[in-house]
Structure 1
Amino acid sequence: MDLMTEVARVDLARTEELSAGARRACRDLLVDVFGDDFGEADWHHCLGGRHVLLRVAGELVGHGAVVERQLHHGGRRLRAGYVEGLAVRADHRGHGHGAALMVTLEALIRSRYDAGVLSTTEAAAGFYAARGWSLWRGPSSVVTPTGVETTPDDDGGIYVLPVRAALDLDGEITCDWREGDVW
């Protein structure tokens, strides 16, 4: 059947609601899409929140997750919905599946968090900007076990979706610590 006539189904589930098989299928999809750029720490970053699964003809072709993170900005601590593991299988791109995943992720963020945050590549930046996400222009840092450290390699790749908090895109933003990529 032509992909354009297939009906895409979007499901939402907490990590703990996913069966072992569904978790494995999500991880396999992400490894397939990102290859060697997707490791064990990246998979763990996707866990503990809510997953959006997109299926066509019953087959998983897209995934995205939003997990809670703590950010510090402008002297305030913010509860952020952080987008992780957004991917659409290569043979299903160009049909609006990424946008369909983001509609659900953004609705979750708007309903539960002060702001949405994600880190992306230059190649995908236009996709997020077109959806209303804004490039963070200020410096970034992370609260490590030994103190706050700057993360200059992440500057220019962090995007935010303001929800309840006023954000100064030129100010400093600090995320909580985690193993692997902190942003």
Structure 2
Amino acid sequence: MTDDVPALLRVAHTAELEPDELLAARALLYRAFDDMTEDDWEHCLGGVHVLLEQTDGLVVAHAAVVQRRLLHRGRAWRVGYVEGVAVEPRLHRRGHGTAVMREAERVVARAHEFGALASTDEGLAFYRALGWQRWRGPTSALTPTRGVVRTPDADDCVFVLPGAAHLDLTDELTCDWRDGDLW
């Protein structure tokens, strides 16, 4: 397989993907992230996947949009939460990440009140360049046993794509509970 194999953009719900496509997307994430976990993969499932696939079946870029409820200013918002954004490591800086993110943004805009994601340190400049805005207020999580608990480790890595939503980026943002990384 070569780097110049044509790639096709595919958008599909988890339920519409074939098992081999899901395995290929999962394998990409494990190649792209040294600290990838099964919880991280689980967070990508149940929503819409954007896959950039070479004609030989290799998934070279991936993003998923899953629905989450985020609390902000006394309201539970229906949010398109972007997960599992990855590009084949040897194919960085060729526009593949931008291609899957632009399609993920389209999904967010058409089906959700706003978009959100948590970035790695390496991804911060990428999301800023795409127009995502860093959340400057405190972050927290709604836990099953202790109510709302601060998540200060996420304060510097959460980004939003507000769309038409009127958000105060300096106020508190609270995510719903899930196993693994909360943001």
- Residue pairs, 1:78-157, within 5 angstroms: 78-146=77-145, 147-157=147-157
- Could you report, residue by residue, the CA deviation over 1:134-173 in whole angstroms, capped at 9, with x for unpaired residues? 0000000000001110000111100000023101010000
In 2: Cα distance, 1:175 partner to 1:60 partner? 30
What is the SS of the residue equivalent to 1:91? helix
Q: Which residue of 2 aligns with 1:33?
A: 32
In 2: Cα distance, 1:110 partner to 1:171 partner? 22
In 2: Cα distance, 1:17 partner to 1:160 partner? 27
Q: What letter matches 2:42 in structure 1?
A: H
Q: CA deviation at 1:174?
A: 0.3
Q: What letter matches 1:56 in structure 2?
A: Q
What RMSD in Å do the two structures reach over aligned CA positions? 1.4
In 1: Cα distance, 2:94 partner to 2:2 partner? 11
* Higher alpha-carbon deviation: 68-77 or 5-14: 5-14
TM score, norm. by length of structure 1:
0.95
What is the SS of the residue equivalent to 1:27? helix
Q: CA deviation at 1:2?
A: 7.3
Q: CA deviation at 1:7?
A: 3.2
**How many equivalent residue pairs?**
181
Q: What letter matches 1:66 in structure 2?
A: V
* Contact 2:31–2:89 (Cα < 8 Å) also in 1: no
Q: CA deviation at 1:124?
A: 1.1
What is the SS of the residue equivalent to 2:69? strand
Q: How many percent identity over aligned positions?
A: 48
TM score, norm. by length of structure 2:
0.95
* Higher alpha-carbon deviation: 50-59 or 169-178: 50-59
